[in-house]
Structure 1
Amino acid sequence: MTDLEFLDRAEAALQAIELACDRINEATDADVDNQRVGGMVTLVFANRSQIVVNLQKPLHEIWVAARSGGYHYKWDGQAWVDTKGQGELFAQLTRCATEQAGQALVFSS
C-alpha cells in the first residue's frame, strides 16, 4: 500500500468513527464527545474515560488506546485488522466503547 492509499483509507476510518459518534449521540444518552486533531480522534465518555484513535503513518497502521489496552490495525485489503489477532477495528471499538460507556454502543465503517 502506498502512503497515499493508506492516508485515504485511514482518513475514511477516522471519518466513520466521527460519524458513528454523531449517530450514537442522536440515538442514545451516551454523550460521547469526539475531538479531532489532525490524524487523531479522542473519544471522551460521560465518566471522563477516553479512547484515543490515531494514525501511525510510517507504519501504515491505526492505533487505538482504550482502558482494555492498546491495539494496532493494518489494512488487509478488506478491513482494518488487529496485528495481534484481536479482530477488526470497528468491532473492537464497539467492545471498548460499550465497556467504557456502560451501555451498548455500535461503531461501524
Structure 2
Amino acid sequence: MSETEFLALAEAALTGIENALEQACNRSDLDVECSRSGNVLEIECIENGSKIIVNSQAPMQELWLAAKSGGFHYRYDGAQWRSSRDEGELLATLSEVISAQAGEPVNLQDYWG
C-alpha cells in the first residue's frame, strides 16, 4: 500500500473513532472527550482523567493504541485494522479499553458508520 493510501485509511479510522465516541456519549452515560492534533487522537475519560491515545505511524503503516492496559499496534488487512500481536480488531480492543478506563460499557461498533 502506498503512503497516500495508508494516510487516507488512517484518517478515516481516526475520524470514525471520533464520530463513534461522540454518538456513544450522546446516547449513553459514557463521558469522554476527544481532541485531535494531526495524526494523534487523545481520548480523555472525564471522571478519572485517564487518557487513551490512538495515532497513525506512516513509516510502519500502523495505527498505535496506548492505554492503561498496554500498547497495541494495528495493520490494515484490506478490511479491518488487525493487531500485529494477536489478530484482535481495533474497534473491539478500543471498546474494551475505553469501557475499562471510563467505567462505562461501550461497543464502538454500535456507533460506527
Normalization by structure 1: what TM-score?
0.95
RMSD of Structure 2 on Structure 1 (CA): 1.0
- Aligned residue pairs, count: 109
State the 1:35 CA deviation.
0.3
For residues 1-109 of structure 1, what are the structure 2 equivalents within 5 Å? 1-46=1-46, 47-85=48-86, 87-108=88-109, 109=112
Give distance in 2, aligned partners of 1:86 and 1:71. 11
Q: Is the 8 Å Cα contact of residues 29 and 104 (structure 2) preserved in structure 1?
A: no
The share of aligned pairs that are identical, in percent, is 40
Q: Is the 8 Å Cα contact of residues 90 and 107 (structure 1) preserved in structure 2?
A: yes
Q: Is the 8 Å Cα contact of residues 20 and 106 (structure 1) preserved in structure 2?
A: no
Paired amino acid for 2:5: E
Which consecutive unaligned segments of at least 5 residues does structure 2 have? Answer: none
Which consecutive unaligned segments of at least 5 residues does structure 1 have? Answer: none
Give distance in 2, aligned partners of 1:31 and 1:92. 18
Q: Is the 8 Å Cα contact of residues 24 and 32 (structure 1) preserved in structure 2?
A: no
Worse overlay, 51-60 or 77-86: 77-86
State the 1:29 CA deviation.
2.5
Normalization by structure 2: what TM-score?
0.92
Moved over 3 A (4+): none
Give distance in 2, aligned partners of 1:20 and 1:68. 21
Give distance in 2, aligned partners of 1:35 and 1:18. 9
Which structure carries more relative contact order (alpha carbon 8 Å, separation 6+)?
Answer: 2
